[in-house]
Amino acid sequence: MVESSQNENIEILTYSEVEEVSGYIGNFDVRIRKKARLVDMKKCTGCGTCYQKCPVKVPSEFDMETGMRKAIYIPFPQAVPNVPVIDKVNCRMFTKGKCQICQKLCQAEAVDYEQEDEVIEDKFGAVVVATGYDLFDASVYGEYGGGRFKDVISGLQLERLISPAGPTGGHIVRPSDGKEPKNVVFIQCVGSRDPEKGFPYCSSVCCMYTAKHAVLLKEHIPDVQTNIFYMDIRSAGKNYEQFVQRTMEQYGALYIRGRVSKIYQRGDKLIVKGADTLAGSQVEVEADLVVLATAITARHDSKELAKILGIPYDQFGFFTELHPKLAPVETVTSGVFLAGACQSPKDIPDTVAAASGAAVKVAALFSGDFLSMEPLVSTIDTSVCSMCKACMEVCPYNAIQEEEITLRDGTKKKQLKVLESVCHGCGACVSTCRSSCIMLKGMTDEQIFEELMAVAQ
């Protein structure tokens, strides 16, 4: 991120969101709302005095609520830019109308409570969507105690506890009492491969990051015992299976094939009841800490973004590629590409591969002076068109748009036009048009009729 921020050809707009995208490949008009930080980025020196002295503490979203942050804060030390943002929802200046500690202590006079959002409109040649994912809400599985027991956490929360930059400085402790856990239970497929309570798909990453967590736990706490409840171990990547085997043999992780039926508290311990399908018996494991491998889900706002970009999404909210094998990073909207877990659950190698593919597609797009387009595109005879707009509804590429023209007498008229740079010549509009006013270049009714006559002779 730091390297990208220092590249003169890259402009990073953080704390911003895309509101509208119009146009077509090579000529997208994008409106971006740059939200007010309430801190002047040009004046701020990143000294940190403001968030060190801020009296308000709230759970940190970046640390998955395992730690705290201030009302004025930087999400994590390596964040770019190194400029804090004020949380209006929790800042006393906005909730109670008084405080101003950060403003009074800021020697650079960078804090500005009256700063407003800025709307940026610019043109772009292509769009790469890499919006990531959300985590499944584990509280759906009430029997696991997610949200009720402090010592039942998600894999991402454990990741923050392990991190040296996390809330505990890399010391793995129980959230309830701060003690070091000696018995840890991992439960896989929480929300994955479960169409009744969660989703039918596999989240792709859970098996491997659980094995990684078991290894890291053993390295941090040599006498820890880890038990992993699983359905199937899916370790299909390069050297993945060897890593899982090493987790079992060298680090002592005990894999138990079966579902967990219930977790309850007994004193300061958690009792995990489940089945061992290989042994054909019920098991009961005492745990100090339980880690849930929750499913990867589409972002909560993915459908809204899909409508803005004019791209489709599947029944789970993930963006849909143009073709799963032949065009895995392209979409039906030419010039809009996909990368990472916004498309489907992906691990790091798959995400990097998809991102590289999208970057190459964009680079190839801009490498020449002209774009090679499909020659057989639709045309509309506006003198016959009844403006029913049925063609707009069926076009999978959003290639038909409405425009307003001015006639010679000064009156204005609305008509439909085909964006030739977007049209793929699929013919869906031709077969839908009730007025027969849409034709494909090179495949008009007259041309097809002449072809049939030639064949019949």
Q: Which segments within 102-147 are labelled E, that is strand?
A: 118-124, 127-129, 134-135
Q: Tell me, what's the pLDDT at 398?
A: 84
444: containing domain: 378-456
3-class DSSP assignment, residue 436: coil
Q: Per the domain annotation, does 310 fall within a domain?
A: no
Domain of 395: which CATH number?
A: 3.30.70.20
Answer whether residue 429 shows pLDDT above 90.
Answer: yes
Q: Which residue stretches of 42-178 are H helix? A: 49-53, 92-95, 101-105, 155-162
From 4-13, 164-173, 364-373, 403-412, the region with the lowest mean pLDDT? 364-373
Q: Which of 93, 127, 161 is the last residue of a domain?
A: 127
- Report long-range pairs for 212-219 (Cβ below 8 Å, ≥24 apart): 212/243, 213/155, 213/158, 213/159, 213/162, 213/186, 213/291, 214/186, 214/247, 214/251, 214/253, 215/246, 215/247, 215/251, 215/253, 216/162, 217/172, 217/184, 218/251, 218/252, 218/253
Mean pLDDT, rounded, of the chain: 94
Averaged pLDDT, 98-102: 94
Q: Which residue stretches of 170-300 are H helix? A: 206-220, 240-249
Answer whether residue 283 shows pLDDT above 90.
Answer: yes
For the chain, the domain total comes to 3
* Euclidean distance between CA atoms 445 and 434, whole angstroms: 14
* Euclidean distance between CA atoms 120 and 129, whole angstroms: 19
Residue 141 shares a structural domain with residue 281: yes
Q: Which two tokens stand for residue 183?
A: 């018995």
Q: Tell me, what's the pLDDT at 210?
A: 98
Q: Per the domain annotation, does 370 fall within a domain?
A: no
Q: Tell me, what's the pLDDT at 83?
A: 95
Q: Tell me, what's the pLDDT at 198?
A: 95
- β-strands 296-297, 134-135: how paired? antiparallel
Segment 318-352, tens digit of pLDDT: 999 999 999 999 999 989 999 999 999 999 999 99
* Euclidean distance between CA atoms 53 and 55, whole angstroms: 6
Residue 210 shares a structural domain with residue 286: yes
Q: Tell me, what's the pLDDT at 421?
A: 83
- Scored b (16 or more CB within 10 A) or e, 175-184 reads beeeeebebb
3-class DSSP assignment, residue 49: helix
Residue 56 shares a structural domain with residue 142: no
Q: Per the domain annotation, does 42 fall within a domain?
A: yes
HSE, side-chain direction, 13 A CA sphere, residue 222:
0
Q: Which two tokens stand for residue 291?
A: 């880690």
Residue with the bigger pLDDT between 312 and 2: it is 312
Residue 88 shares a structural domain with residue 216: no
Residue 140 shares a structural domain with residue 258: yes
Residue 155 shares a structural domain with residue 65: no
Residue 144 shares a structural domain with residue 280: yes
Residue 122 shares a structural domain with residue 188: no
Residue 181 shares a structural domain with residue 285: yes
* Euclidean distance between CA atoms 9 and 408, whole angstroms: 45
Residue 109 shares a structural domain with residue 26: yes
Token pair 């967990």: residue:
260
Q: Which of 110, 127, 144 is the last residue of a domain?
A: 127
Residue 47 shares a structural domain with residue 64: yes
Q: Per the domain annotation, does 94 fall within a domain?
A: yes
Residue 358: closest CA among 343, 374, 336, 342? 336
Q: Tell me, what's the pLDDT at 282?
A: 95
* Euclidean distance between CA atoms 337 and 125, whole angstroms: 12
Q: Tell me, what's the pLDDT at 142?
A: 92
Q: Which residue stretches of 84-191 are H helix? A: 92-95, 101-105, 155-162
Q: Tell me, what's the pLDDT at 369?
A: 83
Q: Per the domain annotation, does 138 fall within a domain?
A: yes
Segment 200-209, tens digit of pLDDT: 999 999 999 9
Q: Per the domain annotation, does 344 fall within a domain?
A: no
pTM attached to this predicted model: 0.88
Q: Which of 297, 321, 352 is the last residue of a domain?
A: 297
Q: Per the domain annotation, does 145 fall within a domain?
A: yes
Distance of CA 434 to the CA centre of its chain: 41
Q: Per the domain annotation, does 316 fall within a domain?
A: no
Q: Tell me, what's the pLDDT at 409?
A: 87
Residue 187 shares a structural domain with residue 291: yes
Per-residue H/E/C for 262-304: EEEEECCEEEEEEEECCCCEEEEEEECEEEEEECEECCCCHHH
Domain of 230: which CATH number?
A: 3.50.50.60
Give the torsion sign (CA, 16, 397, 300, 317): negative
Answer whether residue 390 shows pLDDT above 90.
Answer: yes
